[in-house]
A and B are shown apart, each in its own frame.
Chain A
């Protein structure tokens, strides 16, 4: 039953005005954009709009990548860089999460840690590489220390903020049920801080990638940074761009691994 008596005349349908402003994405758009950029680049090179000496075509970059793969250099350089990134990132992250947690939980650690971290965080860590070379020698430890220190500070800040942002009401609730401090840390604070910590890992992994390239430009022959520098010095621009592409792929791979980890660890979100 209805109490509506819709007149036949003088009526107008209500127009929909709520379209747009939806924060969505489409799957095909990024692929199309990449394809268009690469096709335009290739076309510009073939038409002679870009000087081949300074900007080789994508097909030449692919050819350079293929050559690197065939002669085994690709694997050598990537393996060397990955070892440095992983060592530095793991050391920096473990130390950073531990210090950030301590600062988030303990008043004394926070009181001491905040000013110290604030003072040291802005220093560009690559500026400390010469010092680390003096301390640890020209080999791997100085490079790993540079990456580790670069990762440490953003990890401290993200872990501290993540712990600080765990809702106090959850901690009070756990206290009200008699959970010990250790239990509150492991059952409430750690899971509650995971989104912030994983977001920090995204930033710190990018920093590790930047620092490994910079560190490899000093005193080493292997690694993607060393390879890119050598290619630049020899004007082998196709190889230089191939190295840059490798870095991009490495960054995307790290990002994909972190996204997968987030999906597993934060599936409750």
Chain B
């Protein structure tokens, strides 16, 4: 499934945060959305996911959802958003139990995604008993349990330490390679964007407008190879060059607010 955004704008009251944003995320493609703080990245993700009502422009999906898809547009949240009173399996079940699956089918699906995310031994654990990385794995397991057509990831690794982030990036690459899910990935972290995305959509500071769309001409699976290190470093630096000045201005504005 593709995601198409055409001239999208949004304002919180009198405060415009997005203006004339147009781009497409192709079938099976991962697009990273970067930009200075407050440029409307998360707002855009919430608009695409239907958690905010569209104001101007048009957001549409194109193409059929994959077989067995229960929730075409599915979020993975920065703060994990796990129900603390439910076990790991129970949190995954929340996404499934209103779809009329039989108990056996639901249990099988839960066992499968917990296995994929390395959580089989923690099915009965409560979120408070897990580390941050494990909690986000539960969030990812819950998301892939519904076989989404589009994954909407809102800074999914930003609450994690560097080592856990590395491990989860590898897990995400493996999941995307297997599921071929279209993904819109919001991040502040340029290293994540360069490592995970097929293309990087750079937004200007508020109100967010498309500043540049940068393709990454190295397959995701090969980006750890030494021969690509120089190119990826240059891309990283180019992206930083695109947002550095505006990020500094946005940072001062945020402090002022």
Contact = CB atoms under 8 A, between A and B. Distances in A.
Interface of A: 169-170, 172-180, 183, 187-188, 191-192, 266, 268-269
Interface string B59-72: 00000000000110
B98 A179 contact: yes
B129 to A, nearest CB: 10
Contacts of A180: 98
A183 B84 contact: no
Given A177-B95, A177-B146, A268 B75 contact: no
B98 A173 contact: no
Interface in B124-165: 126, 128, 142, 146
Main secondary structure of the interface of A (DSSP, over half): helix
Contacts, number: 46
Given A176-B71, A176-B75, 19 more contacts: A169-B79, A169-B81, A170-B81, A170-B83, A173-B75, A173-B81, A174-B94, A176-B50, A176-B51, A176-B73, A177-B71, A177-B94, A178-B70, A178-B71, A178-B98, A180-B98, A183-B98, A191-B83, A268-B126
B235 to A, nearest CB: 31
Contacts of A187: 83, 94
Nearest to A268: B85
A180 B100 CA distance: 14
Contacts of B71: 176-178
Interface size, B (range): 20 to 34
A191 B85 contact: yes
A192 B94 CA distance: 14
Interface string B75-110: 101010101111000000011001000000000000
A173 B77 contact: yes
B51 A172 contact: yes
B74 interface: yes
A169 B77 contact: yes
A268 B98 contact: no
Contacts of A188: 83
B2 to A, nearest CB: 20
A83 to B, nearest CB: 34
B49 interface: yes
Which 5 residue pairs spanning A and B have beta carbons closest together?
A173-B81, A268-B85, A176-B75, A177-B95, A169-B81
